[in-house]
Structure 1
Amino acid sequence: MREKELSNLTGSGSHRFTLPKSHILSGRRNFEELFSGSSLIKNKDVNLRYATYPDAGRNLLVGFIAPKKIGNAVHRNRTKRLLREAYRLNQHIITDLPEFTDIGLHYAFLAKRTTLSFETVQSQVVELLTELRERVSANRSPL
């Protein structure tokens, strides 16, 4: 493998740009828990639902949702691919913070429409992750 290809696999600096299956939120019960007792951060085209748990064993898990009302399967799958890629490249905003090691955090990105460019999705995902980091950090700070 060429050196350039190796650097793409390992990422730049200390960030590793992978999204393993073990970090993906799945299962009906997990999504029901997320939607029943969660908070919402709204944005123009993408929303973020999140729930924190005091149990560190629940880890950081992320889901990607494109509801049926926004189009056929082709459009929904493309939208979820865009969301996954934008998150994969910017997950360090959340995962690199030390205060997230002793809590469980489940969150899901919800697309509101399908006619999105990657640049739009990426900028909104960064905004949502930054807001999530601020909210969770504020809730965890001692009074």
Structure 2
Amino acid sequence: MTKGRSKQSSGSGDDLSLPKDKILRGRKNFKRLFENEAQVIRNQIVDLRFQILDMDSSGCFMGFIVKKSLGKAHKRNHMKRLLKEAYRHHQHILSKPVSGASVTFHGAFMAKVVDATYADVEKNVIALLSKVRDQLSPGHS
């Protein structure tokens, strides 16, 4: 018995999956995001910390951070799921310009609260992704 999602390819344009290999992982990658060269775009509920790197491989890698001081584990995990879901639905806003510029994008959404609704989180994520997209390609609207 196989699950339905495992047969989907992640290369198609209509695919809304977020494979594990597109999630930012590793201590070195996260440490790099908290250095001076990293840029931060702030919003009401979510901040986006990112770096655009010139590496051999191009792609868009995103992490999701919710500080322990924001609440109990189940609330932090819920907020992280909301961030991932909002990014999964709107990753195309950023992935197309990144692949067109042939650079590597490392970013992390950082939650400021844990009691936000999905609609609020989604609105913040879209705004942040659009701001980064506009920085990558200034002529795009």
Judge conservation of contact 1:56–1:101 (CA < 8 Å) in 2.
no
Moved over 2 A (4+): 96-101
Q: Distance in 2 between matches of 1:97 and 1:103?
A: 9
Return 5+ residue gaps in structure 1 as ranges.
none
With structure 2 as the length reference, what TM-score do the two structures score?
0.84
- What do the CA deviations read for 1:32-87 (whole angstroms, capped 9, x no partner)? 01111300000001000010111142531100000011101111100000000000
Judge conservation of contact 2:58–2:98 (CA < 8 Å) in 1.
no
Judge conservation of contact 1:63–1:108 (CA < 8 Å) in 2.
yes
Q: Distance in 2 between matches of 1:102 and 1:122?
A: 27
Over the aligned positions, Cα root-mean-square deviation in angstroms equals 2.2
SS in 2 for 1:63: strand
Q: Percent identity?
A: 35
- AA aligned to 2:19 is P
Q: 1:137 to 1:56 in 2, by over 3 A?
A: farther
Q: 1:22 to 1:114 in 2, by over 3 A?
A: same
- AA aligned to 1:66 is V
Judge conservation of contact 1:46–1:121 (CA < 8 Å) in 2.
yes
